[in-house]
Structure formats: structure tokens, C-alpha cells
């Protein structure tokens, strides 16, 4: 991963994205101390983990897992905030690389054929300049040695932020706003659908619904950076 060292050091400051201390030469994005103390879920080792259970009885998902536990004020919240609102694309890529190393050895995820990030509407994409979920997907793809496909799943309308909405309101907010372009290209594939944080799972549910409704024999698994579920 020497190319990552060169990439990150040229573009981003050499300070830890969690604690703000200067990184040593061998460290990338997060210092060794903070990375060791990140609250990993290890859900990728359990089929019936809390993230998987979110979708039971709602949509058909092969497997689902999140890398980290998200809680108010913890380092994971700081990382996600910097990724989404402070232009720190490197955080998404780095966490994707780390989680991908686990997923490629997991029997629940190692058969994935391609990665699809949850898309942003073009208006939101223009405002932010990038899709944070796609940055995570790029990192996952680098470790798992599979491709990212950001052309097939599209968001057709601009929805309001999901923050502070109830589960039902979140589902209403995203119901019917995704579509599939050229569904035949994904027939029979095992798709790894990725997002930044899962709370109620409404957005991911809407994505899975359109994927499984429109694509013959598709299988869908889910991976996120973080989850609010314990």
C-alpha cells in the first residue's frame, strides 16, 4: 500500500483524523493508537448480526455488516463528519481498504462480484463535490480486488435529509427514488451495496428493493462504514 502513503501525504495533512496529532511516516489518515481503539463491530463474522437483522422480513439481503460502531461524540462520528462535510475523501478510502481486508476473507462477502455505492442525487453531488459512499467503495474495491460500478443505480429525485426522521418517515422519504439503468448487465451477479452509516436502514432497503425487483437472479449484500446498532 505504498501508493496510498504517497497519495495521502501529497493531498491531505499529516495529522490523525481522530486526535489531530502528527502522523508518523508509516501511518495513514489515523494514528496507530486511534486505529487500535476504533470500536469495530466484527459483524462480518456473524450471519445473524444486528445489521443483518434490520432487513429481515423487509427485503432479501444475503449478508450485511458494518465496520464500526457509531455513537454521538465518538471518533467514528468525527470521522464520518469529516468525510461528508470537510472534504476528507481519504477517510472513506482508508476505512474501505481496512474493512475490505476483512470482507475478502469472510465467507459471507468473498463471493461479491462488484460494489455499488448508494448514489447521491446530482444536486447533492454538485454541492458536496463527491459521493462519500463511493470513496468507501473505492477503498473496498482496492482490497477485495473487484470493481466499483456507479453507473447502474441512480437516484431520480432530491430527498430531504434523513436526520431526525422516524423510521417510517425515512422510508417515505426514499421510497421509489432509485432506478436501475441497464438491469441486464447485473443479472446473476452478487452485488455489494455500500453506504456510510446505517441507522434504520430505510435508504438501503429502498436500494435493495429496486435491485431485486429489476435484476434477474441478483444477490445483494450490504456493507457500511458504521452502524448505530449494537
Q: Do 116 and 6 share a structural domain?
A: no
Helical ranges in the chain per DSSP H: 2-11, 32-36, 50-54, 75-85, 89-103, 122-128, 132-144, 167-174, 202-214
Residue 101 scores a pLDDT above 90: yes
Q: State the cell numbers at 150.
A: 456507479
Q: Do 202 and 192 share a structural domain?
A: yes
Q: Do 95 and 20 share a structural domain?
A: no
User: In whole numbers, what is the pLDDT of the chain averaged over residues?
Assistant: 91
Q: Do 1 and 56 share a structural domain?
A: no
Q: Do 111 and 74 share a structural domain?
A: yes
Q: State the cell numbers at 221.
A: 449484500
Residue 4 scores a pLDDT above 90: no
Q: Do 93 and 167 share a structural domain?
A: yes
Question: Residue 92: which CATH number?
Answer: 3.40.50
Structural contact between residues 114 and 148, judged by C-beta atoms closer than 8 angstroms: yes
Q: How many domains does the chain have?
A: 2
Q: Do 44 and 28 share a structural domain?
A: no
pLDDT at position 158, please? 63
Positive or negative: CA dihedral 111, 225, 152, 141: negative
Q: Do 155 and 141 share a structural domain?
A: yes
Residue 199 scores a pLDDT above 90: yes
Q: Do 57 and 11 share a structural domain?
A: no
Q: Do 64 and 25 share a structural domain?
A: no
Share of the chain above pLDDT 70, in %: 87
- ∠ Cα 166 208 79 (to 5°): 60
Structural contact between residues 96 and 137, judged by C-beta atoms closer than 8 angstroms: yes
CA-closest candidate to residue 198, choices 81, 65, 16: 65
Residues 33-56 pLDDT 10s: 999 999 999 999 999 999 999 999
Q: Do 148 and 70 share a structural domain?
A: yes
pTM above 0.85, yes or no: yes
Q: State the cell numbers at 62.
A: 444475503
Q: Do 160 and 140 share a structural domain?
A: yes
Residues 113-159 pLDDT 10s: 999 999 999 999 999 999 999 999 999 999 999 999 999 999 987 66
> Which domain does 7 fall in, by range?
1-37
User: 201 in the Ramachandran plot: left (φ > 0), alpha (ψ -120 to 50) or beta?
Assistant: left
Question: What is each CA distance from 105 to 44, 100, 143, 145, 211, in whole angstroms?
Answer: 10, 9, 10, 12, 25
Amino acid at each position: 500500500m505504498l501508493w496510498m502513503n504517497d497519495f495521502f501525504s501529497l493531498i491531505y495533512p499529516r495529522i490523525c483524523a481522530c486526535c489531530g496529532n502528527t502522523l508518523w511516516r508509516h501511518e495513514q489518515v489515523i494514528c496507530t493508537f486511534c486505529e487500535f481503539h476504533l470500536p469495530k463491530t466484527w459483524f462480518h463474522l456473524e450471519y445473524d448480526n444486528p445489521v443483518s437483522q434490520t432487513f429481515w422480513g423487509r427485503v432479501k439481503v444475503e449478508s450485511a455488516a458494518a465496520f464500526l460502531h457509531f455513537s454521538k461524540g465518538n471518533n467514528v462520528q468525527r470521522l464520518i463528519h469529516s468525510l461528508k462535510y470537510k472534504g476528507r475523501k481519504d477517510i472513506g478510502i482508508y476505512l474501505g481498504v481496512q474493512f475490505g481486508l476483512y470482507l475478502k476473507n469472510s465467507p459471507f462477502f468473498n463471493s461479491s462480484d462488484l460494489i455499488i455505492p448508494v448514489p447521491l442525487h446530482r444536486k447533492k453531488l454538485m454541492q458536496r463535490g463527491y459521493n462519500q459512499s463511493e470513496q468507501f467503495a473505492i477503498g473496498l474495491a482496492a482490497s477485495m480486488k473487484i470493481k466499483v460500478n456507479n453507473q447502474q443505480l441512480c437516484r431520480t429525485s432530491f430527498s430531504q435529509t434523513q436526520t431526525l426522521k422516524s423510521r417510517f418517515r425515512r422510508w417515505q422519504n426514499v421510497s421509489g427514488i432509485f432506478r436501475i439503468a441497464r438491469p441486464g448487465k447485473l443479472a446473476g451477479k452478487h452485488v455489494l451495496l455500500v453506504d456510510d452509516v446505517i441507522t434504520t436502514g430505510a435508504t438501503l432497503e429502498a436500494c435493495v428493493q429496486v435491485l431485486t425487483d429489476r435484476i434477474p437472479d441478483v444477490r445483494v449484500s450490504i456493507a457500511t462504514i458504521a452502524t448505530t446498532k449494537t
